[in-house]
Amino acid sequence: MLDVIRAAGTISRAGLIEATGFTGATISTVVRRLIEDGLVRETGRAESTGGKPRVLLQLNQSACYAVGVHLDHAGIAYVLTDLAGSVVARMTRAGVGEDEPPAVVTRIAEEVRSLIEGAGIDTDRLLGLGLVAPGPLSAVGGMRLTPPSMRHWEDFPLDHALQQATGLPVVLDNDATAAALGEYWSGAVTGTSSFAAVYMYTGIGTGLLINGITYAGSSGNAGEIGHVCLDTAGPHCWCGARGCTESLAGPAAVVAAAREDAQLVRAAGLSDAHRPPSLAAEFAAIARAARRGEPAAHALLERSARYLAVAARTLANLMDLELLVLTGPSLAMADSIYLPAIQEELDRTFFARAAHPVTVRLSSLAATAPAIGAATMVLQSELVPLHQGLRLPDNLAAAAEESSSRVSG
């Protein structure tokens, strides 16, 4: 219900009945409770269309907030969003690198504190913290089967440690899934509620949204487009299989191939070995070289894009997709190569192309979508129980009510 109100901006009770299919009595009850809890407020009347003017409802955006954290080897992005998923504050800090997990958790807690203080938000209004990261995660516990660069995070009880350090409820999920949710909540994707977001940073993943709800699979690990097989006799992948998209076309494969070309290493400035090289920075350097017209850099990214295009077609054929959003820093850096390659492949070989095309486009918020998605996961996981007759925790209800009366009073 909150999601319908959020998506509509303002909506009448009659509009809610139409949008949800619930009865008037049910809508009445739920709206009354949402207003009591301070999450929704009445906001004037719609123009009369013959009958009496209808009272409009809208989210009380400042009723509560959520923190979204996108953790990666190369960087940690933070956002603070309000109840509508709008970004109130954001910041980016150094990646986790080789640091030990407990030290990173301590740092995250401090950085979250400064994010909240900087925004001037009362901590009573915080619903919780969503943290998203690459690779398989279990909903409780931490990361599983991590990529090589984050192997030391495996089996670290991330949710528990973060909850202890921040005092906030913690939700964990995959960064690609969060990216899809971020696209949807931020209003960047409209007109369809089912799509896939292909996310590339240091790895490649996909977030799947079906009717506005993330499809996570049986253990939260759906959408592993980086581990789609493109060549049964291809190179061995760290995941245990052969010929995976990631091993043929991922940033690590692109950077490894570039490092074999001495001229390209010089041209792209890859040889700066003073400090441990960062995969994300090296991929970005190759993308910049390609944009400057360096043919070897262009050819490597073209090859990567063609493989990713075939993997995208496999995904589109299995899910019968209408829309594919390209997101994540690495795709955003090289969209002029990846986007046309993927669109061309789908136009030519998508199985159901006689029924409909698959539209491919670049996200307008490629860098922050996962962190926004992480925050909206908190909103969803903490607010959905309200539908089932549960109430807000007392501190939140009090804070929300106060905020509501302040705004409307």
- Residues in contact with a copy of itself, shown as a per-residue x/- string from 115 to 154 under the rule CB under 8 A: ---------------------x-x-----xx---------
Does position 216 interact with a copy of itself (CB under 8 A)? The reply is: yes
Is residue 257 involved in binding a copy of itself (CB under 8 A)? no
DSSP state at residue 356? -
| 390 makes contact with a copy of itself (CB under 8 A) | no
Among residue numbers 57 through 86, which ones bind a copy of itself (CB under 8 A)?
Answer: none
Among the candidate windows 59-67, 81-89, 208-216, 362-370, which touches a copy of itself by CB under 8 A?
208-216
Pairing of strands 359-362, 323-327: parallel
338: nearest Cα among 317, 361, 318: 361
Both tokens of 282, joined, read 């090296």
Q: Applying CB under 8 A, which of residues 351, 385, 390, 398 lies at the interface with a copy of itself? A: 351
- Residue 219 near a copy of itself by CB under 8 A: yes
Q: How many residues bind a copy of itself (CB under 8 A)?
A: 54
In whole angstroms, what is the distance from residue 90 CA to residue 122 CA? 17
Q: Is 39 helix (H, G, I), strand (E, B) or coil?
A: coil
Q: Which stretch binds a copy of itself (CB under 8 A): 270-278, 281-289, 320-328, 334-342?
A: 320-328
Cα dihedral value 325, 328, 334, 340, nearest 10: -10
Element (H, E) at 333: helix 329-333
Cβ atoms of 237 and 244 closer than 8 Å: yes
The strand ranges marked E within 17-60 are 40-45, 55-59
Closer CB to a copy of itself, 4 or 216, in the complex = 216
Nearer to a copy of itself, 180 or 315 (CB): 315
Name the CA radius of gyration of the chain, rounded. Answer: 23
Task: Out of 50, 354, 394, 409, point to the residue binding a copy of itself (CB under 8 A).
Answer: 354
Q: Which position among 14, 222, 257, 407 is part of the footprint of a copy of itself (CB under 8 A)?
A: 222
Cβ atoms of 174 and 181 closer than 8 Å: no
Contact call for residue 310 and a copy of itself (CB under 8 A): yes
Tokens of 173: 């999920």
Residues at the interface with a copy of itself (CB under 8 A): 21, 23, 26, 136, 138, 144-145, 192, 194, 206, 210, 215-225, 227-233, 239-241, 306-307, 310-311, 313-315, 317-322, 348-349, 351-356, 388
